[in-house]
Structure 1
Amino acid sequence: MGLGIYQQADNYGILRDEKHNTKFANSFAVGCISGMCGGLVGSPLQLVKTQLMSYSSKKIAVGTQHGHPGMMHALSRIYMKNGLLGLWRGAHGMMMRNSVGSASQIAAFSVCKEWMDNNNMFQQSKYLSAFMASNIGAITKTLTLTPMDVIMTRLYNQAIDAQGRGLFYEGIWDCAKKITKTEGILAFYKGVGPSYFRQAPHTVLLLVFWDMLKDLQKSFQTLKA
């Protein structure tokens, strides 16, 4: 969804200057919007995924345990207990996470690939510059995304009261302040290593295939003409 919104913005000429070079500020802003939209749509499933993955045996349980036996049961249980809006509890954290992650990833990729192509770097293979630029995008995304991942996970997994409000954190900024106060700044980068090894394959495959599909679309348009 995010790439679709971003590509439409590119098609309308929002992202490029008169020389057809990417405008970093525009690319970053549209990346924020597209990531935010994706985060809003996917938030209920992210909520359920977080709670299911956090559930474990009482002997080794850490944090709040929601006890869902499966995805459909979790969705139904949350809806019955807290209503439709209950499925979007913590969505603001997911939206900000996706906004920051998508913007940093796509802007870094677009600008770096364009710079490499303009300076004839990594031109031995047609998509080598896309591969290198996507790796830079993965590193950038990991560094900007990990703090939001920590906050999002805690917002999703905290216990709630009868009104569906979190018992530990009131929202993003409250969560960030409490983490900083009790655990320090470095706590925002817990799991940064595994996060990179998760993000890198996803980012590289996503952006390289996106580049291939854009070239394929151009070929079809040329044939039609």
Structure 2
Amino acid sequence: METRAMKDFISGGIGGIFMIVIGQPLDTIKVRLQTQSNRPHGRSPMYKGMVDCAVKSIRSEGVRGLFKGMLTPMLMITPITALYFSGFGLAKKLQQRRPGDELTTSQLFKAGMFSSLVAMVFLVPVERIKCTLQVQQSGGRGRMVMYCGPMDCVRQFYREAGISEFTKALSQHY
């Protein structure tokens, strides 16, 4: 692998890991707020807002509950972010007539689009698994845990609908 591509790969991986560790608690709260069901007949939703969701999640699951679903993105963030960086670098290189040529805004935009297309093939299924695990409440008080972790989630998705479960996630995302 050439030096620039290796730097892109390593930089993307390290940046991605920090992004996951720092952002996971807020992402979990966001996903739980987005997926809470509407209560019929004027009953209040489960969470009144971000702080209420955080407090209730910590009370029922501990701080670890805010990090649910983190394993899958943590394992995949390095290759996904590296794909973004590498895809962007490749698309820029393909558009240059000579190495070192400045690219136009339009060419940079195209390079960004290309890098996103390359990475989304991996990112969307990872997000699907992460979100499924984030909204799954811990067992206890009559709650049933459907998935025992990311691999169990993948197995059950595949068993229920085959690979189409993941292509469905791609088509719904974009």
Q: Please, what TM-score do these two structures have when normalized by structure 1?
A: 0.64
- Structure 2 residue aligned with 1:55: 36
Structure 1 residue 170, shift from structure 2 partner: 1.4
Matched length: 168
Task: Look up the SS of the partner of 1:72 in the other structure.
Answer: helix
- Structure 1 residue aligned with 2:149: 171
The answer on 1:185 being equivalent to 2:163 is yes
What residue identity is the alignment partner of 1:192? L
Aligned equivalents of 2:85, 2:162: Cα separation in 1 = 30
Task: Look up the SS of the partner of 1:68 in the other structure.
Answer: coil
Task: Look up the SS of the partner of 1:47 in the other structure.
Answer: helix
* Aligned partners of 1:96 and 1:148 also within 8 Å: no
Structure 1 residue 149, shift from structure 2 partner: 1.4
- Structure 2 residue aligned with 1:101: 80
* Aligned partners of 1:104 and 1:140 also within 8 Å: yes
- Structure 2 residue aligned with 1:12: none
Aligned equivalents of 2:129, 2:140: Cα separation in 1 = 22
* Aligned partners of 1:38 and 1:95 also within 8 Å: no
Within 5 A, what are the aligned runs for 1:55-204? 55-58=36-39, 67-96=46-75, 98-117=77-96, 119-120=97-98, 126-162=104-140, 167-193=145-171, 195-196=173-174
* Aligned partners of 2:24 and 2:67 also within 8 Å: yes
- Structure 2 residue aligned with 1:40: 21
Structure 1 residue 124, shift from structure 2 partner: 9.5
Structure 1 residue 191, shift from structure 2 partner: 3.8
Q: CA RMSD in A?
A: 2.9
Structure 1 residue 58, shift from structure 2 partner: 4.4
Of the structure 1 ranges 99-108 and 133-142, higher mean CA displacement relative to structure 2 is found in 99-108
Structure 1 residue 77, shift from structure 2 partner: 1.3
- Asked which structure has the greater RCO (Cα within 8 Å, sep 6+), the reply is 2
Unaligned runs of 5+ in 2: none
Q: Please, what TM-score do these two structures have when normalized by structure 2?
A: 0.81
